[in-house]
A and B are shown apart, each in its own frame.
Chain A
Amino acid sequence: MKKLLILLTVLCLFASCDVAKKLIDKNLPQEKDQTEDVLSEITGEKKEKVVDTTVTVLSKKEIKKIKKERERQEKIASGDTLSCFKKKWLEFFPKKVDRIISYPKMYSEQPKSIMIIYPWNRSKNKEASEMFIINLAKQLSQRGYYVIPPITIMDKHQEDTMFSAQYIKTTDVKKYKQEYGVDAVMFITIYSMNKPWWSTNVNAVAEYRLISTGTCDTLFYRKANFNYDSPVPSYKVDKSKDTYEMDAKIIPLFGTCYQMQNSVFMDFPYGPYHKNYLKDKKKFSYQKEMKYTVDMRPS
Chain B
Amino acid sequence: MKKLLIIIFTALLLGSCSNELYKYYDYDNLIYAYSTRDISEKEMKKFVKKYSRIVSFPKGTRKLPPPGACAEYAYLLFKQGKVDEAKEYFAKEVVIYPESQTYVNTLMKSLGL
Contacts and interface: CB of A to CB of B under 8 A. Distances in A.
Nearest to B35: A130
Interface string A210-247: 00000000000000000000000000001010111110
B69 A149 contact: yes
B111 to A, nearest CB: 10
Given A134-B28, A154-B35, A254-B28, A242 B69 contact: no
Interface stretch (A19-27, A59-67, A178-186): A178-186
B31 A150 contact: yes
Interface in A138-171: 138, 141-142, 144-152, 154
Contacts of B24: 138
Interface in A260-276: 273-275
Contacts of A273: 21, 62, 67
Interface string B73-113: 00110000000000000000000010111110011000000
A18 interface: no
A180 B35 contact: no
Given A141-B21, A144-B21, A149-B69, A242 B106 contact: no
B29 A246 contact: yes
A185 to B, nearest CB: 13
Contacts of B76: 151
A147 B21 contact: no
B103 A238 contact: no
B32 A244 contact: yes
Given A152-B72, A273-B62, A146 B26 contact: no
B102 A181 contact: yes
B27 A138 contact: yes
B10 to A, nearest CB: 21
B91 to A, nearest CB: 16
Contacts of A180: 102-103, 106
Interface string B57-78: 0000110001111011001100
A18 B18 CA distance: 94
Contact of A238 (B20, B26, B61, B100): B26
Contacts of B8: none
A182 B22 CA distance: 21
A146 B32 contact: no
A142 B68 contact: no
Given A141-B22, A149-B69, A149-B72, A246 B103 contact: no
Interface string B20-57: 11101111111111111100000000000010000000
Contacts of B21: 141-142, 144, 273-274
Given A130-B35, A138-B24, A152 B107 contact: yes
A270 to B, nearest CB: 10
A193 interface: no
A116 to B, nearest CB: 11
A181 B75 CA distance: 18
27 contacts: A130-B35, A134-B31, A137-B68, A138-B27, A138-B66, A141-B22, A141-B68, A146-B68, A146-B99, A148-B68, A150-B68, A151-B34, A151-B72, A151-B75, A180-B106, A181-B103, A183-B99, A238-B28, A238-B29, A240-B26, A244-B26, A244-B33, A244-B50, A250-B32, A254-B32, A273-B21, A275-B61
